A and B are shown apart, each in its own frame.
Chain A
């Protein structure tokens, strides 16, 4: 057939095959390309057969890796070559022409190619035509490279084919995957009413080809909108049962006795997607991120479960069957196929809220797998253990296999070694860090080059995070540099220098270690750098030890100078200058020697070296001034470990990336804790005093987006003298504050903080904690009774009017909140800040939502590490009008005491309002058309707080009601309008009229009108509550902030910037005054 007749093509292929080298091949290809190009130029003379032949040649050449930049049009034109389907005889020769066109087009072109658009009509005609062959070809091409335009014009036709009863399975299976492509290009084309029912029907399909493709389609649909397809879940389970029990499976679909393992795998993935997408849909996250959250979700019992008891039972039964019934057999193919299903079932069990027994069965199986001889199974065992670690709490059981995993680190296969490394990295915690890190170090000297960089980075991160003590950390890093200097990036040694600089206790130890390494005969240049730096700074601390006189240290370092590159020489010069400075009384001989070196480098071609040499020379002849200039380096402000950042950016595979992020998010870096204690112990003052100055510095952690503001903030507080007077050791306080840096995980959107300078200046430079930015405030002495700080009610009311602030605070924790509202949707972030030096345990946050709100809270970690702040996003959707308030049930264990508070969340009615201005022409007809109850309600209210009209207008503005000036002829009346957003009713205009009596300000007549009776009622009640019952009068609005200040809610008047609210907030005031 196609090629058998194409002699020219066969000849070309064998010519290529006979080429002795790449050069010959290129020549032959160039020749052929020239030939094809000329033939295409005078296209008139080409028969379909020739065209076909040349197009195949092009594909072949392209496959060999040569660019084919012409002839695309010819390939596309083959698609629309004339068809004579009625002539059976012609089917072969002409039919395959189209076939070649379709296949070559999908290989050569991508979806954005212009030529493809030209074919769209032909393709559509083929799809809706009656010829199965063409239908399949067209569906396949669209399924492979169809773009958005195809999605929009073809989706209905493809859907029709998929569910058509007259279509044969061979067309329908392609239609399913074609639709999948179109859906990915534009999800809207499939989200039509009733499609989920159709999908459920499709799952009853007997033909396994159609079922296989439909399952792939369903996997994608479910990830996008699990709710709509929930009815498919029982059918999936049924399908899995049918396969696992081998019921009614045609022989052709059993593979070595296993009923279509691919379909079984696909069904497991689909069920798993149902469970995961509940989370993903709510938070729109990528799968890996979701996986990380599953663990916490389960702890909170938010984990979605299969609710229907029958389905649930069947699913458990069939999974149990797969877990227990998979035996190792001799036949490799059968073994692989059954284990493919087994591993997928394992993954599903991990994500199911399965009984513990099943989970431990899984771990037991994995433990068995990682020790078997068969390398594939070993690899998968390790991989799945790592996955399991991420989603469930199986640390302890997995630790039992630590020895075996460490053995795998020495496996002959790099794929397996990588998995083992990843697993060790994931399972490392304080208890086993020493063992694991030392194992990694040992392995480092024999590890292959491809892994060394990753290995040293991971060892460095683990050492930093889980160091039982800091001297161990220094040991590890120095060993790391010693063993794999080439693979130790600068970040790693910068980091160790930072730690040593910031920890006085560590300095003599580190200096002594550095000195030891210098005695080794050949050391890596990085070691020279780090040793020189450390000895320059701290060698004077060693002065009395043998071999540590300034002179001896100098010569030990200077010995290395000939071996280092120009990047290290400047460091050495600084070290010399520092040694010189520390040598008291001055040693003239040493001085002479060093000066000689300086003057030697004064003419160095490297500018950096030259400059340092000249400057140090000049400085060191000045005597006393040298002391000031070369004084000990100040402590480093702490930031997120550059290593962790790097590890996140580094091109590592996703599983391992997420393991790193998991670490970054869920574990407090232990080394930081150690440092933390060190500095607070090391400083003479009490913790309480220290805390006083932390406030301004903490706001430095808000995130890079607001650095400018931060520095301004700090300047401000410094100018005010707060830092200088209160704290004798600002750097250490700074360190403490900054240590919290990495924990303010994502930083806030810049917009949130923009309003802060106002707040600060409004309070005449008294530093206030940026309450929405860093919810960590002074540490109090630990008390057992947990009393809230500040008035919870007042905090709540303040938050009803603004979008960020403190919701709750007690001596242990501060809960800050930041919200963004858009129509009926809201996104809140809870900032849970642990104020203590010890972790808060058993943290639980549950939302008790009223019926009208749909609220989903994401991960709340069980433990909040010391002085850490975690952010928990919260998605709110307003279903219908109601004044009910959502409650956050928050509890934690702190030491022995258990604290529990129920906090109202400021997701109140007015958050779903958006101001709207109406003109008189719009207002009056509307007002009149809403003629009376229940759409228009009127009520006279007595005993309200007396308010001037201006105050009342301000209150209204703060609730997102637009006060319409001049609409009411009576100046004592007030008219306001707003739009209410909810999921169930369309955006609704609401009109409000307040009539006041100038002689008696305590009584009002309120009229509320809207197109929805419930809304009218609720709004009326809401306004009554607000006018009658607010405990503190909101201050008159400040001049509106700059338009960009709240870009998320452009229409919202910034009636209540944070300053007045902060003033009314006793907690903040207190903190500010401190």
Chain B
């Protein structure tokens, strides 16, 4: 009786609205029944609908759920792509880009990489700007950076540009290495000192073969990452190597003022863990300094004046790449507030910059940084 009442109610509901759940109760059979032939669960259809109709409704619901899931899934999604339409933003340009993406160039994001360069660390000197602020700068000399080769997805499985820099005496370079450069080296020219690869995200960003990368490849005001082999410090104790605290100079400390102290626990674990910080060789390893700002570029002599210190010794090569974390594209801190660097590289004819300095400074603040704060408060 109860079942009948329920089915009548369901039928009414089914006729009145389109959203109805089809019920069919299931009854669990006793344990002693044969498990192979008979099913574990027996379905009893206590709705007024036939089995076919129930199946049809169930399929429709399933299709709806699948469609909902698919709608959330964006095909060919790339990092930076939007999954839902833009609703709010601090910049008007983003709405323009949403409405007409074809008119604007594809964005230059943090994940996009272009070619870097090799430079010699020349030394440090101060640079005064027009406001009178003294910037302690390292001078990097981009010595004849020539693109030797390309690495592509078809041949190598990754995209990169091979860049050669510097000069070496022909007698110091082996024949096997000379053979690599025969394509673009004449008999008078010296082979390069160093060859390094720089990873790139897209094949259209590969600079053309045998082209030179000048200092203007970089923009004054941008941030760069500089990687070099740090100065060698030799065998050093843990205080210098790992910033250990050491022990007091007096008060009974015996023979261990600069020692590392305990190396572990007792019987458990009963060993010293691998990687325990101890004394050892320090320095002469690859180190990257991130977010180093370019203060000034000397276009004639291919010099980069870069704020702060850079790993390595004077006269040694360092790798210079756009900053991975904070390159400052699109901000006021970069010259002309450009939103992307020159791609794939800056092209201009050979300029013999000997003796002349064409210096381009980074954009300076609008107000005097030495002005006292009372004026702003007033």
Pair from one complex: no
Interface residues of A (CB under 8 A from B): none
Interface residues of B (CB under 8 A from A): none
